[in-house]
């Protein structure tokens, strides 16, 4: 065999025997694309009229014009709605406005009584569109209706007077998302170097021989990780404030809709609480990961791979109305504790949800953090922390349950 082939064979053999390489090369891409595929399939599949993931959306319509263009507009709206799996409920204008004020509809369109007359006399007419800007789907449907209507009236023009039912404070959403991501990634360097790093440097054995309990060692490392994560988040907040200021300055007087409104004290407290809880959760999960990893690089690889899913979910939930997602994906999002950081922020900043919903988000993350810490503490007590050889106990339980076996 030629030298290059010998080298290549050895390299491939090494890669195939490395769990880390297999994880990075095979599992991560599959998981990532599976996640993106599921997200997109659910979001776009819900809009199809007859597809397997079709989920109908409700909209409201008030038609006060009985003339030919009024009837044409109504037909166009029904056709577009049918094509996008939207159920149209016809209501009087007054009822529609009540729904808008209650926030009980995501899309309300009003064809005024003078619609046909205006089109005939001036060639242009106006319709009223109230759209919930936090709903991607409602915005898309409204846009489609206006486009099709304009193409149907040919030489004439229909102007839509759009009023947001609920605004999407993009900069706030961005800020909270970035803060959540900072909270997720901030602890990584400390957690991985503090636990897996001690093993890699082979200083852990000496540390474990001191008369300090492993719980105390764990607590010390936990606090240090929290401190560095707090520093990281602090810098992130400063950076984001600069970013926010720049955006406001650059868009002053131009994009009022997108300018960042100021946070109330309550909202700011919720955002900070969500970030702190995400940090605690991230550290707890990071400890579990580090207890399994043999080196800092291994720990970082696992950390990145495992946290990719929550990041995708965070991005997805930040810009999409949660209750608009199909039930299956909502269950997945609710089950993953990291999603609750963003849900908590969204509940406070966008939806004005009751405090019980925000408290649930917080409690769910806290329960998971405590659970992960208990598992981490048990893992830290294992002999495998100092012994690289596989320790199998005859008749013992397998997997994580073994950690909780009575001595």
Least gap, CB of 218 to another protein (angstroms):
14
Residue 383 binds to another protein (criterion: CB under 8 A): yes
Count of residues engaged in binding another protein, rule: CB under 8 A: 19
- Dihedral class, residue 398 (left if φ above 0, else alpha if ψ from -120 to 50, else beta): beta
Least CB distance from residue 219 to another protein, whole Å?
14
For the sheet containing 124-132, what is the strand order? Answer: 86-90, 57-63, 107-111, 124-132, 157-166
Residues 109-148 touching another protein, rule: CB under 8 A, are: none
CB within 8 Å of 178: residues ≥ 6 apart: 236, 240
Per rule CB under 8 A, is residue 82 in the interface with another protein? Answer: no
Q: By C-alpha distance, which of 188, 268, 170, 176 is closest to 229?
A: 188
Complex with another protein: residue 155 or 383, whichever CB lies closer: 383
Say whether residue 202 binds another protein (CB under 8 A).
Answer: yes
Contacting residue, 2, 390, 398, 406, with another protein by CB under 8 A:
390
Residue 282 Rama label (left phi>0; alpha psi -120 to 50; beta): alpha
Q: What sign does the dihedral 377-379-381-386 (CA atoms) show? A: negative
* C-beta of 87 vs 386, nearer to another protein: 386
Nearer to another protein by C-beta: 30 or 207?
Answer: 207
Binding part of the chain for another protein, among 64-72, 96-104, 266-274, 383-391 by CB under 8 A, reads: 383-391
Give yes or no for residue 389 binding another protein (CB under 8 A): yes
Token pair, residue 114, equals 């003078």
Q: What angle do CA 106, 109, 110 make, to 5 degrees?
A: 145
Go through 210-241 and write b for each residue having 16 or more CB atoms within 10 A of its CB, e for each that does not: eeeeeeebbeebbeebbebbbebbeebbeebe
Asked if 94 interacts with another protein (CB under 8 A), we say: no
In the bound state with another protein, the residue whose beta carbon lies nearer, of 137 and 199, is 199
Binder of another protein out of 14, 64, 90, 205 (CB under 8 A):
205
CA distance 265 to 383: 48
Looking at beta carbons only, is 36 or 391 nearer to another protein? 391
Coil, strand or helix at 124: strand
Binding mask of the shown chain, residues 211 to 250, with x at each position contacting another protein by CB under 8 A: xxx-------------------------------------
31's CB contacts (< 8 A; 6+ apart) are: 305, 308, 309
Q: Are 136 and 43 in contact (CB under 8 A)?
A: yes
Q: State which residue, 210 or 356, has the beta carbon closest to another protein.
A: 210
398 is an interface residue for another protein by CB under 8 A:
no
- Contact by Cβ (8 Å): 16, 8: no
Least CB distance from residue 396 to another protein, whole Å?
12
Helix count and strand count (H, E) for the chain? 17, 5
Q: Does 406 bind another protein (CB under 8 A)?
A: no
Q: Of 206-214, 284-292, 303-311, 312-320, which part binds another protein (CB under 8 A)?
A: 206-214
In whole angstroms, the minimum distance from the beta carbon of 189 to another protein comes to 14
- Footprint of another protein on this chain (CB under 8 A)? 201-203, 205-213, 383, 386-387, 389-392
């Amino acid at each position: 065999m030629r030298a290059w082939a010998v080298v290549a064979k050895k390299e491939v053999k090494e890669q195939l025997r490395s769990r880390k390489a297999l994880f990075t090369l095979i599992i991560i891409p599959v998981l990532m694309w599976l996640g993106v595929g599921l997200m997109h399939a659910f979001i776009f599949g819900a809009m199809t009229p007859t597809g397997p993931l079709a989920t109908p959306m409700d909209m409201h319509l008030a038609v006060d014009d009985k003339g030919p263009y009024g009837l044409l507009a109504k037909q166009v709206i029904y056709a577009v709605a049918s094509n996008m799996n939207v159920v149209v409920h016809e209501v009087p204008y007054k009822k529609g406005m009540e729904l808008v004020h209650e926030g009980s509809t995501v899309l309300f369109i009003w064809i005024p009584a003078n619609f046909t007359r205006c089109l005939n006399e001036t060639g242009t007419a106006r319709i009223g569109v109230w759209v919930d800007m936090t709903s991607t789907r409602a915005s898309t449907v409204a846009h489609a209706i206006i486009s099709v209507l304009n193409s149907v009236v040919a030489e004439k023009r229909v102007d839509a007077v759009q009023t947001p039912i609920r605004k999407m404070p993009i900069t706030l959403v961005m800020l909270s998302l970035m803060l959540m991501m900072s909270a997720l990634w901030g602890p990584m360097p400390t957690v991985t170097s503090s636990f897996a790093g001690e093993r890699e440097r082979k200083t852990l054995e000496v540390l474990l021989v001191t008369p300090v309990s492993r719980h105390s060692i764990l607590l010390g490392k936990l606090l240090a990780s929290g401190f560095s994560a707090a520093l990281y988040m602090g810098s992130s907040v400063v950076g984001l404030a600069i970013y926010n200021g720049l955006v406001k300055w650059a868009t002053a007087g131009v994009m009022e809709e997108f300018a960042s409104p100021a946070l109330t004290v309550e909202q700011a407290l919720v955002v900070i609480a969500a970030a702190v809880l995400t940090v605690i959760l991230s550290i707890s999960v990071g400890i579990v990961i580090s207890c399994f990893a043999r080196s800092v690089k291994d720990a970082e690889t696992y950390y990145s791979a495992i946290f990719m899913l929550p990041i995708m979910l965070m991005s997805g939930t930040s810009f999409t109305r949660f209750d608009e997602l199909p039930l299956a994906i909502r269950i997945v999002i609710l089950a993953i504790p990291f999603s609750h950081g963003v849900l908590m922020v969204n509940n406070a900043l966008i939806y004005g949800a009751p405090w019980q919903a925000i408290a649930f988000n917080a409690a769910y993350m806290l329960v998971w953090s405590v659970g992960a810490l208990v598992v981490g503490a048990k893992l830290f007590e294992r002999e495998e922390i100092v012994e690289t050889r596989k320790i199998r106990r005859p008749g013992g339980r397998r997997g994580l349950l073994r950690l909780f076996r009575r001595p």
